[in-house]
Structure 1
Amino acid sequence: MTLKFGSRGAEVIALQKKLNLMADGIFGKLTEEAVKEFQKSRGLTPDGIVGPKTKSALGMVASNSRKVDEIIIHYTASPEGEDFTNAQIKASHLARGFSDIGYHWVIGPNGEIRKGRDERLAGAHCKGHNTRSIGISYVGGCPPRSVKGWRDIGKDTRTPAQKAALIKLIKEVKGRYPNSTVHGHNEFANKPCPGFNAKKEYENL
């Protein structure tokens, strides 16, 4: 993920530590100026934006060494029958203080598989399990808006296309992380998410 003025989160903290700044996780003017000075010292374009070249020069390039042994299934807690795009999810997560979209993958209502956060980076989807897991969420999980108190009601709203896409994606992810096991968010938090028993449903994949 590119870091620039206004960015927040763990990656900004890592950047600030590399630049010997106070690590508050907020990419402000001081961080921007420090980035520009660093870029000048390395012969890079001093634009204050931390992209792949600047990250590489700083030694911040993510590796594939993250040990993943869990695949955690979620729902987006959005109304049944409505889409919730990655851009909307990301905006919601940024408003909560995340550095990016929290999920690694999102399954749209029609079964489209949408890439979220880079798998090489820890997600922000299940407290206490983010560093060791891949987070997959399907769009939905709540009744239609016409239902009173819909936000507080969790249910399995997966469409047939979403069910098929989840199986396909889980198999692909398990291919990359052979020792991983599949779980529902509700195994680790007092929440109904993802609205069904993911561990039981996917135990033989």
Structure 2
Amino acid sequence: MTDYTIDHWTTAQTAVDSSKKDAIVIRVDDRAATRQAIITQLKRKGYPLIERSSWHAQPPHPGMRESHWDYQDIVIHHAGRSYSCGAPSIEEMRRVQAEDMGRSPPFNDAGYHYAISCQGEIYEARDIRFTGEHVDKGNTGKVGIVFLANLVQVGEAYDQEYKSLSLVDKLKKLRDIATDQVVADHDRPTPYQIRATEILCETLKEFFDITHMGGHREYQMLSSGKGRACPGNLGMNVVQLLRTRLALSPPGE
């Protein structure tokens, strides 16, 4: 893995000569060191990151874009209606990657950078050194975090995505619209999930100039004008809570 220069934010201190009283500030100039520093900091806070090697991630497809290293936004997602808090989280993490890489056209890897289980586990999805694929036409500078859960309530997809479609497009989506009106089962964000997300975002703020946070639906509307149900009203409640706690602004402000 090639390392790259960091323009700002990441610094480290070390005493290179134990006989000297003052430590010398050394600039961390590679992205691999920053990724590892994030992992170390999360562990110190009691949230050890489940790295890609630990959940046996598949190798990414060739051609992933190196990040511009200008992360300023955190985008919150939920995994979708076929996911559940009741399923083993490591299997759900593997499924996220498999589905993203099996799309047409395929993503190069899991689209998100991190995933949070209902039990409060933090997974490394896509390596933070690479730009994600989680907001259509708008991934630059955005860290993607997905809840391994279904947080969409009945009727939400219609209100957010299908209501504004033309009659022809609604007919094409008829099965999805019908499902949205009758499938009422969903998860609720757990206190463990919320706290783990807060710790992760707090840590990311230490390494990047993070100023904004929003739900997928908010960013998707800004980047492409398309409605999205993700991360659901329940997920948006978490977004609003964490924006306040972390003093972050909504997208576009």
TM more than 0.5: yes
How many angstroms does 1:86 deviate by?
2.1
Query: In the alignment, which residue of structure 2 is the partner of 1:90?
Result: 97
Task: Report the AA paired with residue 149 of structure 1.
Answer: T
Instruction: Check 1:73–1:153 CA distance in 2 against 1; reply closer, same or farther (3 A cut).
Output: farther
Verify the 8 A CA contact 1:69 1:180 in the aligned structure 2.
Answer: yes
CA distance in structure 1 between the partners assigned to 2:152 and 2:143 by the alignment? 26
Look up the SS of the partner of 1:79 in the other structure: coil
How many angstroms does 1:87 deviate by?
1.6
CA distance in structure 1 between the partners assigned to 2:130 and 2:194 by the alignment? 26
CA distance in structure 1 between the partners assigned to 2:184 and 2:134 by the alignment? 19
- String of CA shifts for 1:103-130, please: whole Å, max 9, x gaps: 1000112110011111111001111221
Matched, 1:76 2:79: yes
Task: Report the AA paired with residue 107 of structure 1.
Answer: I
Instruction: Check 1:129–1:152 CA distance in 2 against 1; reply closer, same or farther (3 A cut).
Output: farther
Verify the 8 A CA contact 2:75 2:219 in the aligned structure 1.
Answer: no
Verify the 8 A CA contact 1:142 1:157 in the aligned structure 2.
Answer: yes
Verify the 8 A CA contact 2:115 2:123 in the aligned structure 1.
Answer: yes
Specify every segment of 5 or more residues in structure 2 that has no aligned partner in the other structure, as ranges: 2-58, 154-177, 221-226, 247-253
The total of aligned residue pairs comes to: 148
- In the TM superposition, 1:18-37 aligns within 5 A as none
Query: In the alignment, which residue of structure 2 is the partner of 1:172?
Result: 203
Verify the 8 A CA contact 1:103 1:137 in the aligned structure 2.
Answer: yes
- String of CA shifts for 1:71-107, please: whole Å, max 9, x gaps: 0000111234324532211111110101111110001
Instruction: Check 1:167–1:98 CA distance in 2 against 1; reply closer, same or farther (3 A cut).
Output: same
Query: In the alignment, which residue of structure 2 is the partner of 1:110?
Result: 119
Say what the alpha-carbon RMSD is for the aligned residues: 3.1
CA distance in structure 2 between the partners assigned to 1:114 and 1:161 by the alignment? 14
Verify the 8 A CA contact 1:80 1:143 in the aligned structure 2.
Answer: no
Instruction: Check 1:165–1:95 CA distance in 2 against 1; reply closer, same or farther (3 A cut).
Output: same
Specify every segment of 5 or more residues in structure 1 that has no aligned partner in the other structure, as ranges: 15-61
How many angstroms does 1:178 deviate by?
2.7
Matched, 1:192 2:229: yes
Matched, 1:137 2:146: yes
State the TM-score, normalizing by the size of structure 2: 0.51
Look up the SS of the partner of 2:140 in the other structure: helix
Matched, 1:10 2:63: yes
Instruction: Check 1:154–1:106 CA distance in 2 against 1; reply closer, same or farther (3 A cut).
Output: farther
How many angstroms does 1:7 deviate by?
6.4
Verify the 8 A CA contact 1:109 1:161 in the aligned structure 2.
Answer: yes
How many angstroms does 1:143 deviate by?
7.2
Query: In the alignment, which residue of structure 1 is the partner of 2:40?
Result: none
Task: Report the AA paired with residue 135 of structure 1.
Answer: G
State the TM-score, normalizing by the size of structure 1: 0.61
Instruction: Check 1:8–1:152 CA distance in 2 against 1; reply closer, same or farther (3 A cut).
Output: farther
How many angstroms does 1:8 deviate by?
3.9
Look up the SS of the partner of 2:127 in the other structure: coil
Instruction: Check 1:161–1:120 CA distance in 2 against 1; reply closer, same or farther (3 A cut).
Output: same
Percent identity over the alignment is 26
